[in-house]
Amino acid sequence: MAVAEDLSLSRDLSETRAELRRARHLPGYVYDSPEIFALEKEKIFLKDWLALARVEEIERPGDYMTFRVLGEPVVVCRDRGGAINAFANVCAHRGVEVAAGSGNTGEFSCPYHGWLYDLQGRLIGAPYMKEAEGFDPAFCRLKPLRAGTWAGWVFVNFDDAAMPLERHVAFFEEAFGFFRMQDCRLGSKHTTDVDCNWKFVNENLMDVYHFQTLHAETFGAHLDGEQFAIKTTARGDVSAFYDAAPITPEGKSLLGTIPWLEGEVDEKLGCMGYLTPHLHMFGRCDMSLPMTIEPLAPDRTRINIYFLYPGSRFDEDGFAGKIKVYHDFGALVLDEDRSMVQGMQRNMASRHFVPGPMSKLERTVHDIVNGYLERVFDA
């Protein structure tokens, strides 16, 4: 598209590409342009591995979940043999979605004409089609998508030529594999929509600079932005380790250290990470709190927060009440961010907005947006 060629040469993008001490933030049009949003879909979200669910959300044979990834309908299921499969949720006849919401089923049935598919996407029934010349059920199936699992996450990829999942997650495995998220379970999940571009959410979650100001009354008081040990990759992945308190109002753990980390980590353990394009990770000594970001429109984004705890904790007395404290506090912190990211979005079209210089505490933001620019604009 011409917009990519024009913008890749523009002066305001080159200012963001400068080294941190000379860099400025991205111009407003990058956050509100429908054309750029379409580029992001093609160059990022239809190319990368996407974390769509936790394996325990489709635990039994026949369990399934449906998604829309920037307009693309997807169904993920566990078949009778226990394998996890992903398909385009598009009937091979007229394109109707064959599954809705989530649940458990033995097969997927198109509600329009009754075409029937098994849990491996194969067509097993098509009424009144025997007379159709050239009709071959073997070539009428749900389009398979690449699927894989890592650390208890179900990943899906639309691109048959994409790198292996193991390579995509290697940075996160090295940084956060010790949390053993595959041995944790989902205690609760919080989903909310915000009126802003998805990149604002990504940048905000990894923005060390705002922690002690915006979050001074919640978790920010326990942090020192200058003592974060940060690593990044060329594509914008992030890991950071620092001293922090558990994610509760009093900054005290209600659960105790994760069993396999006892004696291995300090109770002040804090870490955060970003795996392009949309998976975030926050960890403490007693739990992990990953998030996924779903772009819905240029100015609207869905955030999913997963509260993960060791499987052995779920049988402990009072567990449900304790994890509600973590859930409510996490949701409170996210609401603090909401007004800021939505405020930025409202002012991106203002003639008075000129991107400001970056702080030394915005290294993570700098590296995330530069990885993004290289992919979308070849800048």
CA atoms within a 13 Å half-sphere pointing along the CA-CB vector of 29: 10
Question: Could you say which of 127, 161, 195 is where a domain stops?
Answer: 161
| Same domain, residue pair 201 and 337 | yes
Q: What is the pLDDT of residues 78-89, one digit of tens each?
A: 999 999 999 999
Q: In this structure, what CATH number is given to the domain that contains residue 24? A: 3.90.380.10
Q: In this structure, what CATH number is given to the domain that contains residue 84? A: 2.102.10.10
| Same domain, residue pair 153 and 233 | no
| Same domain, residue pair 298 and 274 | yes
- Give first-to-last CA distance, the chain, whole Å: 14
The pLDDT confidence band at residue 9, using thresholds 50, 70 and 90, is: very low
| Same domain, residue pair 108 and 198 | no
Q: Which residues pair with 283 in a beta bridge?
A: 271, 288
**66 and 97 Cβ atoms separated by less than 8 Å:** yes
Tokens standing for 224? 């020192």
Question: What is the reported pLDDT for 1?
Answer: 41
Q: Is 194 exposed, middle or buried (0-12, 13-18, 19+ CB in 10 A)?
A: buried
Q: What is the pLDDT of residues 161-180, one digit of tens each?
A: 999 999 999 999 999 999 99
Q: Which residues pair with 122 in a beta bridge?
A: none
Identify the three-state secondary structure at position 296. Answer: strand
Give mean pLDDT, residues 147-155.
Answer: 99
Q: Total domain count for the chain?
A: 2
Q: What is the pLDDT of residues 306-361, one digit of tens each?
A: 999 999 999 999 999 999 999 999 999 988 899 999 999 999 989 999 999 999 99
| Same domain, residue pair 120 and 182 | no
Distance (Å, rounded) from C-alpha 133 to C-alpha 365? 58
| Same domain, residue pair 223 and 351 | yes
Range of the domain at 313: 2-48+168-377
| Same domain, residue pair 70 and 199 | no
| Same domain, residue pair 141 and 261 | no
Question: What is the reported pLDDT for 222?
Answer: 67
| Same domain, residue pair 260 and 343 | yes
Whole-model pTM: value is: 0.94
Q: What is the pLDDT of residues 38-76, one digit of tens each?
A: 999 999 999 999 999 999 999 999 999 999 999 999 999
Rounded to 10°, the helix 198-205/363-377 angle is 150
Question: What is the reported pLDDT for 5?
Answer: 47
Question: What is the reported pLDDT for 11?
Answer: 61
Distance (Å, rounded) from C-alpha 125 to C-alpha 117? 7
Distance (Å, rounded) from C-alpha 288 to C-alpha 70? 27
| Same domain, residue pair 155 and 182 | no
| Same domain, residue pair 86 and 135 | yes
Question: What is the reported pLDDT for 230?
Answer: 95
Question: What is the reported pLDDT for 150?
Answer: 99
| Same domain, residue pair 112 and 192 | no
Q: Write down the mean pLDDT value for the chain.
A: 94
Q: What is the pLDDT of residues 222-277, one digit of tens each?
A: 677 678 999 999 999 999 999 999 999 999 999 999 999 999 998 999 999 999 99
Question: Could you say which of 137, 161, 185 is where a domain stops?
Answer: 161
Residue 2 pLDDT > 60:
no
Question: What is the reported pLDDT for 219?
Answer: 76
Question: Could you say which of 135, 161, 187 is where a domain stops?
Answer: 161
